[in-house]
Amino acid sequence: MNKQSLRDVKREATANALAEAAFDLAMERGMDSFVVEDVVQRAGYSRRTFANHFSCKEEAVVMGASAFNNVDEVQQLIESLTENSTPLEVMEHLVRMELTAGLFKKTRELVKLSKQHPTLEPYILSALHSHQGLAEQLLLDLFEDNYAKGYIQLLVGASYGAALPMLYGSGNILFPGQSSEESPDFIPLDQYLDDMFNYLKNGF
């Protein structure tokens, strides 16, 4: 993992810490009962650092619903790569790291909040695009000498595109902690991810 990629991951961790603080405050107080100063105090950063990552508290709140803090896990993944590792294998690991039960719970809360505060809506897709861009750059840094840029872009786009039904609740997916008796037609999250990456590995 080169220095630029590591800086990108650490930058993402800082943004996530601020975003999680903003999201937690929104859940505790509501959107109208906190300001940026409350966010930076809780996260332990300055207003300038906040401004380097977000244009407003709404953007931070949305990012907080999908905050990814597994920086150490990403580093371990990169260090474990071999000469035979492929972009698809790394992409699968990254998606499984991000798509946790906590993420889905936060996303559902965010959707409810956005119905009361429409100013949140423009930032929802941008949060997903942020993660997608970081994943794409990481794969390019790791594999650009052996794989075409277009292949990596297509792979990342397909992976995040397949995740959208989960994030927005339109897929019949059973998340960890949910009872199969309540939703007998839903498939477990792990099975959905297995199917998704089998399509990418073997074709449609």
Helices (H), the chain: 3-29, 36-43, 47-53, 57-64, 71-79, 87-98, 101-116, 121-143, 149-167, 189-202
For the chain, the distance separating the N- and C-terminal CA atoms, rounded to the nearest angstrom, is 32
- Checking if the pLDDT of 3 tops 60, the result is no
Q: What is the DSSP string of 130-158?
A: HHHHHHHHHHHHHHTTTS-HHHHHHHHHH
* Tokens of residue 59, six digits: 């953007």
Confidence at residue 85, expressed as pLDDT on a 0 to 100 scale: 94
Q: Based on the number of CB atoms within 10 Å of its own CB, is 167 exposed (0-12), middle (13-18) or buried (19 or more)?
A: buried
Confidence at residue 155, expressed as pLDDT on a 0 to 100 scale: 95
pLDDT band (50, 70, 90) for residue 1: very low
Total count of residues recorded for the chain: 204
Mean pLDDT of the chain: 85
Residues 65-101: tens digit of each pLDDT: 876 666 778 888 888 999 999 999 999 988 888 776 5
* Tokens of residue 126, six digits: 């941008």
Name all domains of the chain by residue range, CATH numbers in brackets.
3-202 (1.10.357)
Residue 174 three-state SS:
strand
